[in-house]
C-alpha cells in the first residue's frame, strides 16, 4: 500500500491512477493521516439483452382508461375542461358597463400581465416610492 500526501496526489494524479488500475493500492493522506483510498472501478459486465422481461410484465386491460376521480381534481369536478370564453360571451358579460370601465379593466389586465412577465420596468419601485411616507 502506497501512501501519498494531497500535494503529491494532485501533481501526479495520472501516475497514481495508472498504478491503481494496474492493481496497486494508493491512499491519500493529509498531515500523515489517511483520508481516502483510490480504487479502480470494476469493468462492466457487458450490455443487457433487450426484451429480457418479455412475458413477465403484464398490464391490466383498464390501465390506460381515465380515472374519473383524478380528473375531477384537475378540472373542478368536470370530466372535461370547459371551452374557452368566446368574444360573444365576453360581450354579453360587458353589457351595461361603460366604455371607461372596459378600457380600465383591459389596461389593468395588461399591466398585471406585463408585471408578471417583468416587462414593466420600475413599476414596483415607483409604487413603493409613492406609498412611502415623507420624512419630516
pLDDT confidence bin for 125, thresholds 50/70/90: very low
Provide the Cα torsion 31, 36, 40, 46; round to 10°.
Answer: -160
pLDDT at 35: 94
- Please give the Cα distance from 16 to 36 (Å, whole number): 13
pLDDT at 33: 93
pLDDT tens digit sequence for 35-84: 999 999 887 777 878 888 888 888 888 888 877 777 777 766 555 555 55
HEC secondary structure over 64-98: CCCCHHHHHHHCCCCCCCCCCCCHHHHHHHCCCCC
Does this model's pTM top 0.85? My answer is: no
pLDDT at 128: 46
Residue with C-alpha cell 493522506? 29
Provide the 3-class DSSP secondary structure of residue 18.
Answer: helix
CB 63, CB 38: distance < 8 Å: no
Amino acid at each position: 500500500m502506497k501512501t501519498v500526501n494531497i500535494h503529491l496526489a494532485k501533481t501526479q494524479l495520472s501516475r497514481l491512477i495508472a498504478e491503481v488500475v494496474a492493481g496497486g493500492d494508493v491512499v491519500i493522506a493529509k498531515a500523515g493521516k489517511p483520508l481516502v483510498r483510490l480504487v479502480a472501478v470494476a469493468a462492466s459486465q457487458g450490455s443487457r439483452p433487450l426484451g429480457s422481461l418479455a412475458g413477465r410484465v403484464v398490464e391490466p386491460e383498464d390501465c390506460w382508461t381515465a380515472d374519473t376521480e383524478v380528473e375531477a381534481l384537475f378540472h373542478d369536478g368536470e370530466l372535461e375542461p370547459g371551452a374557452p370564453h368566446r368574444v360573444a360571451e365576453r360581450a354579453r358579460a360587458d353589457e351595461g358597463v361603460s366604455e371607461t370601465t372596459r378600457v380600465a379593466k383591459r389596461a389593468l389586465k395588461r399591466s398585471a400581465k406585463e408585471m408578471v412577465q417583468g416587462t414593466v420596468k420600475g413599476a414596483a419601485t415607483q409604487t413603493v416610492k409613492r406609498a412611502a411616507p415623507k420624512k419630516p
